[in-house]
Amino acid sequence: MAYTYSKIATYTVGSGGIASIDFLNIPQIYTDLVIKYSIRTTSANQVDYMKCEFNGSTTSYSERVLFGYGTTTGSATNSGSYDNIIDGGANTASTFANGEIYIPNYTGANYKSFSSDSVAESNSTTNNMLMLAAELWSNTSPITSIKLSDYSSGNFAQYSTAHLYGIKAEL
């Protein structure tokens, strides 16, 4: 089975930063969605987390995460969607976290499972920070909008980018 990726939208943060990246009016013609990003925040933290919310909903999210920080590894279960590790403003200058959020069957009438992987870097002893997450939004509505924001209320820094793609499975 071949898959066709179509770019739906690209967002590049301008001077001064921005509180969130919003993908609105997502077409309902694809089988899956994927977001690829390179992001840094203006928060005072070295490491930060990015929230991913669908259709303006801030509830009914759960996740299981695996993480690694330097030589420390672990796992956690959370209620909420804080699924992506990102570079904070206190991290090494001009470094950006990179990651992907994959959302299958986003138009279906079932609960929405999705997954994410992200990595942040710095020139410190915890220079490799990785997070993998399996997530669930317990809502049966089709996903029509996606909001990305900083968990600690910082802004996304200038030059941060996010790309939304639609994926069609061709039989």
Q: What confidence tens digit (pLDDT) does each residue in 25-82 have?
A: 999 999 999 999 999 999 888 788 899 999 999 999 999 999 887 778 899 898 877 6
Distant-in-sequence, close-in-space partners of 2: CB < 8 Å, separation ≥ 6: 169, 170
Give the confidence band of 120 by pLDDT, cuts at 50, 70, 90.
Answer: confident
The domain defined by 2-170 folds into Jelly Rolls (2.60.120)
Give the confidence band of 1 by pLDDT, cuts at 50, 70, 90.
Answer: low
Domain map (residue ranges) of the chain: 2-170
Given a contact cutoff of 8 angstroms between Cβ atoms, the answer to whether 37 and 162 are in contact is yes
pTM: 0.92
Residue closest to 93 by CA, chosen among 49, 42, 130: 42
How many Å separate Cα 25 from the centre of its chain? Answer: 18
What count of Cα atoms within 13 Å lies in the side-chain half-sphere of residue 64?
2
Q: Report d(CA 10, CA 22) in Å as an integer.
A: 10
User: What are the tokens at 57?
Assistant: 């909903």
Given a contact cutoff of 8 angstroms between Cβ atoms, the answer to whether 65 and 133 are in contact is yes
Q: Buried (b) or exposed (e) across 12-46, using 16+ Cβ within 10 A?
A: ebeeebbeebbbeebeeebbbbbbbbbbbbbbebb
